[in-house]
Structure 1
């Protein structure tokens, strides 16, 4: 685990240095500009480091520590699509609705809510697919596929997920020095972001455990959250700023996490531990879920 997180942070942060120093970041190297404006800068400046970090670290550490058998287990979770249709319904519909209801707890949203246009709604699926490719596929093979099963086994679902949530949020910290974090960022914004990653991770752990460790569904969940915030959120709440977005995420995720912790008595869908044998390989521990 130490090797994985060291590689995930180190590889990503090293690759992000040009983007951070460029005109898209601190401006210390203003001649460095990425084509395509802000969106192009994020794709070219952020995406290689995102893929090389969590995804690359998970592959490298698994291959070196567990060999082909470990890679098979890792790849199995990456291709585990066979879950009930209700999970896809919940991720594609209920999650965006919950996200859009959360800001009602902020008084400044009252009287300022607008309906998204049909064009925005039609663009949701293409944006969702783009988020799966550019964000979820880069991160979740590392965070949820590699790290989560091991952290749950060692620390339990709540503490293990809390550790993962903090580290997952902290991995994004250098990006707050760039356009990725938005303009005129208050100093406390990264703290709220990391705090929001913890309850969000608890919700994702419950989905992960209850679906038999389906990483594709987690990728869809991750992409759906990002797509809702980046596309529909600004249309529905045009007066809210980036800081309000972070507060909205924290509120929605915290309420959902508390409900799940109480309903599952802290197990988050994790029931028992069983050994899974693979011919010619060492023993692997994995969670057996309902």
Structure 2
């Protein structure tokens, strides 16, 4: 088993993530919070059953799988690298501002395309938002990002380059959520259309996270904050700030507009490198400006500057 994991670490990781998470999410999907085949309802925590029904599978999927596969495939040195990215907090302050304030603004811009019914947010809502950020960081972000971005993304980038690696990771991240489309997590329904829109959103959102992750010297806290800020905006701010968005599909479309535009801009401006400091597989270095070892060194210097500034 250890030999198989060392030879196919990415495949083993994704198989473990899907298998473990879906196994633990199956009761929630079959309960009255989902298909209703099992006449049982999970207890409410903070006004919802999702925390009780989904958190265990969320943690035992990406987080635990990343730890186990890293330990088997790379041993103690690999675990040290994995842990180092997890605690890489010393980065430029602007990245924290982007994560906490920029992401809600991107989502607001996308939402304004669908609705102009915008309400004011009071001080109490801001305090609730900050409290929600702490909860999101300790739940969805901490459960998922050590797997998707700390384990999978560096390997996919090294093998396929930053853009293609992100495009591969996006759908795999989205389809991991498939059992949730059978539950109250998907409040707008929509079937295959909802899944397709969510997959496109995951790709666009992943481009943004990859860019921030690379530009901060592979800081996982930035990826976690961006993820938490995204979830928190639509769970706390949107119901009050944008009451015109009434179901999951509208929220997904609004997010796709905001992240889609930003992702296209990032791909064009970075020429597909998304802040990646190393050589891109399959790309030949020509004599033109912006290519070759000098460009790679400049990209590394910019990334190091972002971490230390």
Distance 2:92 2:45 in 1: 41
Equivalent position of 2:146 in the other structure: 141
- Candidates 33, 38, 56, aligned match of 1:24: 33
Q: Which residue of 1 aligns with 2:132?
A: 127
- What CA distance in whole angstroms lies between the structure 2 residues aligned with 1:143 and 1:79? 16
Conserved in 2, the CA contact under 8 Å of 1:38 and 1:179? no
Residue by residue over 1:5-52, the C-alpha shift from the partner in whole angstroms, topping out at 9 and shown as x without a partner, is: 00001100000111111111110011x221117844211110000000
- In the aligned structure 1, how far is the partner of 2:232 from the partner of 2:156? 28
Note if contact 1:210-1:269 (Cα within 8 Å) is conserved in structure 2.
yes
| Offset at residue 272 of structure 1 (A) | 2.1
* Offset at residue 119 of structure 1 (A): 1.9
Partner residue, 1:35: 43
Q: Normalized against structure 2, the TM-score is what?
A: 0.85
RMSD over aligned Cα, in angstroms? 1.6
Aligned match for 2:235, one of 227, 230, 239 = 230
1:165–1:194 Cα contact (<8 Å) kept: yes
Change (3 A) 1:131 1:260: same
Provide the residue aligned with 1:85 in structure 2. 93
Q: Deviations over 1:133-152 (max 9, x none)?
A: 01000000000000000000
Normalised by the length of structure 1, the TM-score is 0.90
Query: Alignment partner for residue 179 of structure 1, among 166, 181, 184?
Result: 184
Distance 1:98 1:194 in 2: 18
CA gap 1:6/1:36 in 2 versus in 1, 3 angstroms: same
Q: Give the alignment partner of residue 260 of structure 1, picking from 266, 272, 278.
A: 266
Q: Could you say which structure has the higher strand fraction?
A: 1
The within-5 A match list for 1:48-197 is: 48-106=56-114, 109-110=115-116, 112-182=117-187, 184-187=188-191, 188-197=193-202
Distance 2:166 2:112 in 1: 28
Unaligned runs of 5+ in 2: 1-9, 280-298, 305-309
Q: Which residue of 1 is the match for residue 207 of structure 2?
A: 202
Q: How many residues align?
A: 273
The CA distance in 2 between the partners of 1:153 and 1:11, in whole Å, is 26
Query: 5+ residue gaps in structure 1?
Result: 274-286
Partners of 1:236 and 1:66 lie apart in 2 by: 47
